[in-house]
Amino acid sequence: MRPLSDTIARLSKLHARAPLPPPVDRLTPLSAFGANPGVLAAKVYVPTDLPDKAALVVVLHGCTQTAAGYDYASGWSRLAEEYGFVVLYPEQSRANNANLCFNWFVGDDIKRGQGEAKSIAEMIDAVCRQHPIDQRRVYITGLSAGGAMANVMLATYPELFAGGAIIAGLPYGVAGTIPEAFDRMRGHGIPTTSVMQRTLRDASQYHGPLPTVSVWHGTADRTVALANADAIVEQWMAAQNIVGPASVTNLQDGLARTAWKDGGGQVAIEQYRITGMSHGTPLDVSTGTENAAPFMVDVGVSSTRLIAHSWGLTPSFERRQPAKTAAPHDMAKGGPAPAAEHSTSGIQKVIEDALRAAGLMG
């Protein structure tokens, strides 16, 4: 374990990374959603034309980020408007965590029926009651601390979710203090596979079908060590009844997908590795709906669209229709040029062709 002075220095450095304010907040506050023992805020995006039996995607921001900022960069609400699903953003406060991190390492916040985990479950229930949500189509994703908290929700409330995507996150229940959290982020002291699997089993009394788990990580991540991506996979393998060896597909240069199937022959766990990517969410800003920002990394791969497609929210991760001409304010932020858009479209075709060849896409 590292000395406390090292932990304090890292916290100070993290606190200094101020988030960039988004030009537009497309989200609406969600209030009075329950007892809210975790004292979290919530925002929601409901598309103009919401169909019956719509899907719900829960998105958890990372440290130093806000709901609006993460949405502006990731493009989730723009995708929701195109394809007709609801997006829910739990949001941390500085009163809970000075760096706006979800408290994935605090015991009272990561147990079923308690703290932040309970608050997020209450938000989901409220949105499902207020809108025509198909409760079999609820998904969750998050970055870093938000990715770790997404894993908390998958572990403690598995019956709520059809799938989850953990980006640069950590296994469930591996840290109970701030120093332990930093050690685990470095890849130090990660419990054995059997201990992690037992922790996962003890998180809920649910014995029904489990959500699929998708794990994303950059190989050059110096904030959350790549070892955590492997540990998440190991933690879920026994619960998911994984049978047979993994299949590996190189979707494009620098992007590899490893998939594990359950006893029924369905992909239950997958891992995406982005070669050379630092800590953050992988983006493709030439889609016209995503924007680079701190910890939101333009690598020419849209994790938002790939994840949405894997959950059946979109027929393809290509745009359904050409993006509207950017407003002058957006152009000042660096809108995509047509040539860049054409190049990325070709990359997306390569990825789709690789998925089809592997039998992973219709």
Q: CB–CB of 258/270 below 8 Å?
A: yes
5 labelled catalytic: no
Q: What is the rounded (10 degree) CA torsion for 101, 124, 261, 194?
A: 50
- Cα→Cα distances 12→61, 143, 294, Å: 20, 20, 17
Over its C-alpha atoms, the chain yields an Rg (Å, rounded) of 19
Cβ neighbours, 10 Å, residue 295: 24
Q: CB–CB of 148/175 below 8 Å?
A: no
210 closest CA partner among 285, 142, 289, 263: 263
Catalytic-labelled residue, pool 74, 144, 303, 310: 144
Distance of CA 175 to the CA centre of its chain: 20
What is the phi-psi region of residue 168: left when phi exceeds 0, alpha when psi lies from -120 to 50, beta otherwise? left
Rounded CA-CA distance 202/329 in Å is 50
- DSSP class of 98: T
Active site residues: 144
